[in-house]
Amino acid sequence: MSTESFTFGPPSNRHRVPRPPSWVRFAGFGALVMALLTVSLPAVALVSDTGTYDITVPNKNTSAGPLTLATSGGSVQYIGSSANNQSSGTGIFDPFVRLQGTPTEQGYNTNGAVQFDTKTGTWTHAIKVNAIPIVPCLSDPSMSCWELFNDINESNTAKRVSLNEVEVWFTTNPNLVGFVDPSGFPSGATEEYDFSGNILINDVNQGSGRGDLRMLIPTAGHTWDANTYFVLYSKWGTTPSTQTATYGTGGWGSDGGFEEWKVRKTPNVSITKTADASSVNAGSDIGFTVTVTNSGVADATGVTISDSLPGGTGATPVHWVESPDNPNCTISGSDGSQSLSCGPVTLAAGGGSLSVHVSASTTADNCGLYDNTASFTTTNDGSGSASDSVTVNCGALEILKNSSKGGAVKVAGAVFSVSGHANVTDNGTGDEDNTIGVVCVSGLAPGSYTVNEVSPPAGYGSGATATDQSVTVVNGTNCTTNPPGSGATATFTNPPLADIQVRFRDGGSTETSLGAAGITCDNTTGTADNANTTNWDNTHTVTGVEVTSSSTTITCTIPIDP
């Protein structure tokens, strides 16, 4: 028996980003499309194929098909070993169910007790749906199909055999048992696909370990996850001997060795990107974890990760770092245009992974949405991407500076303190509102803040009507389109100030004089100053008189010659 090689292209992952198809050509029977696609279709009812499909060949130098299954759009084909340089090596295929019986045979894969004509051993076991390679359907490359092979081992004298039943069931139980022919499993599984008819085969290939029969079953409408098992039931040899075919002689019974369903040993690489939190307040760190995992039965080679990290919309972009450092990864570029790159590495079959975590600190200048997509490539399992996002929450507060006479003050320059934030000045540093007497501060993390007046504007008295005012900043508020509400507004009221001056002097007669007590005024809120000035006996000045209403009366007493 000669040993030959049979080369296949990489399968697809149903969660991949679509890309243009690549072609793998088998000599003698046309082109097989091996595209990496994602097909998103609504759930459909159970698809049942039927009919007779003649894929007999005269010898191992020829192949037959693919023939399109009329209802589902799947296909069947027989692959001549010499015509297609098909390997008999064990490293290419992963068998998951072997049947052997005469003149008919049936069975399915499970880790539990086998039924019917199923053979126990390493060649029969439960298999996850995610381990079944997905390729473009031959009838319509925009659709995706599960790719299954069968190693047919009929005798050299009775080469004909028929495949009559193929059923696909989904379950979460790897030890599923209890199949009843023809009704199927009574519970614990759902039927996803059914073929009932005659697939006519003339097994001219020699030896075992080959993928003699290739069957594609469309995936459209089927839903599964990482915990879903793929159970394949098949039945062989029930076609009547009167059924004719193009090639071969004799009946259609299973008169030889085993029939073994298998899948190509391929990697199955997927990527996830997960934000540390969906939202944070300004001042907290943001971060993402990127992980690529190979759940397939072959190593994934040349695996790389690339990620253009978001810089934000503020004047000062965030700065990304690895935390912790992964020696397979680097971050390059300046803030605002940083890129993460990892690999290339080889991910071992059965769960090999590469993971990296990146983080950045934020300030009030970094509010907004950080939407990020990471991508991977491989040299033997295509590419894919995943996205996630985090929002940096910010809000605003408002400070009103009013006059005790009513309305806003007329002079800018009041200074206020905001807990955890630099001081702000009305119409000055930190104020985002150009109205005198209105101060707005945005870019604050949502939460409670304490506001105080540090100093009033020129011409207004100190000692505002309130201190330690508490405000609550709400996410999404700002100083333009969505200003703060009453709960985020602090109000301070100060009186405007006035200066008065009263003077006395003798009119020239030298007979009048000011009393010893001097001039006095009844307003004590200001600062009094009695002083002699040139040509004046006494000047009484009161500065900073607080005018608390629209009518303020001040009475001054001037004692003359008391």
Mean pLDDT of 122-128: 95
Q: Minimum mean pLDDT among 380-394, 423-437, 530-544: which range? A: 530-544
Q: Residues 334-356: pLDDT tens digits?
A: 999 999 999 999 999 888 999 99
* Beta carbons of 16 and 38 less than 8 angstroms apart: yes
Mean pLDDT of 395-406: 93
Backbone angles phi, psi at 364, to 5 degrees: -65, -15
Please report the pLDDT score of residue 247 as a whole number: 97
Report if pTM > 0.75. no
Q: How confident is the model at residue 523 (pLDDT cuts 50, 70, 90)?
A: low
- Kindly tell me if the per-residue pLDDT of 36 is higher than 70: no
- Kindly tell me if the per-residue pLDDT of 551 is higher than 80: no
CA distances from 44 to 47, 184, 218, 293, 486 (A): 8, 20, 12, 30, 54
- Kindly tell me if the per-residue pLDDT of 14 is higher than 70: no
- Kindly tell me if the per-residue pLDDT of 1 is higher than 80: no
Please report the pLDDT score of residue 463 as a whole number: 74
Kindly report the three-state secondary structure assignment for every residue of 54-73. ECCCCCCCCCEEEEECCCCC
Share of the chain above pLDDT 90, in %: 64
What average pLDDT does the structure give for the chain? 86
Q: How confident is the model at residue 524 (pLDDT cuts 50, 70, 90)?
A: low
Alpha-carbon radius of gyration of the chain: 43
Please report the pLDDT score of residue 94 as a whole number: 87
Q: Residues 526-537: pLDDT tens digits?
A: 777 777 666 777
* Beta carbons of 147 and 132 less than 8 angstroms apart: yes
30: DSSP letter: -
Q: Residues 241-266: pLDDT tens digits?
A: 999 999 999 999 999 899 999 998 88
Please report the pLDDT score of residue 295 as a whole number: 85
How many CB atoms neighbour CB 398 within 10 A?
Answer: 23
Q: In what order do the strands lie in the sheet with 269-275?
A: 269-275, 286-294, 352-360, 321-322
The whole-angstrom separation of Cα 54 and Cα 59 is 15
Q: In what order do the strands lie in the sheet with 395-403?
A: 438-444, 395-403, 489-494
DSSP 78-115: E--TTTTT----TTSEEEEEEE--SS-EEEE--SS---
Please report the pLDDT score of residue 345 as a whole number: 97
Q: How confident is the model at residue 178 (pLDDT cuts 50, 70, 90)?
A: very high
Q: Residues 473-519: pLDDT tens digits?
A: 998 898 998 999 999 999 999 999 888 888 888 888 888 888 887 88
- Kindly tell me if the per-residue pLDDT of 317 is higher than 80: yes
Residues in the chain: 562
Return the higher-pLDDT residue of 499 and 221: 221
Mean pLDDT of 374-384: 93
Please report the pLDDT score of residue 466 as a whole number: 84
Please report the pLDDT score of residue 90 as a whole number: 53
Q: Residues 132-175: pLDDT tens digits?
A: 988 899 999 999 999 999 999 998 889 999 999 999 999 999 99
Return the higher-pLDDT residue of 548 and 101: 101
- Kindly tell me if the per-residue pLDDT of 54 is higher than 60: yes
Q: Which structural domains are found in the chain, ordered by start?
A: 23-39+48-264 (no CATH), 269-392 (2.60.40.1530), 395-494 (2.60.40.10), 497-557 (no CATH)
Q: How confident is the model at residue 274 (pLDDT cuts 50, 70, 90)?
A: very high
- Kindly tell me if the per-residue pLDDT of 28 is higher than 50: no
- Kindly tell me if the per-residue pLDDT of 429 is higher than 80: yes
- Kindly tell me if the per-residue pLDDT of 294 is higher than 80: yes
Mean pLDDT of 421-446: 94
The whole-angstrom separation of Cα 181 and Cα 321 is 60
Best CA proximity match to 473, nearest among 495, 505, 451: 451
Q: Under the phi-then-psi rule, with left for phi > 0, alpha for psi from -120 to 50, and beta for the rest, what region is 518?
A: left
Please report the pLDDT score of residue 547 as a whole number: 77
The whole-angstrom separation of Cα 34 and Cα 429 is 63
Please report the pLDDT score of residue 29 as a whole number: 31
Backbone angles phi, psi at 130, to 5 degrees: -65, -15
Please report the pLDDT score of residue 87 as a whole number: 56
Return the higher-pLDDT residue of 454 and 85: 454
Please report the pLDDT score of residue 445 as a whole number: 85
User: What tokens were used for 44?
Assistant: 């459909």
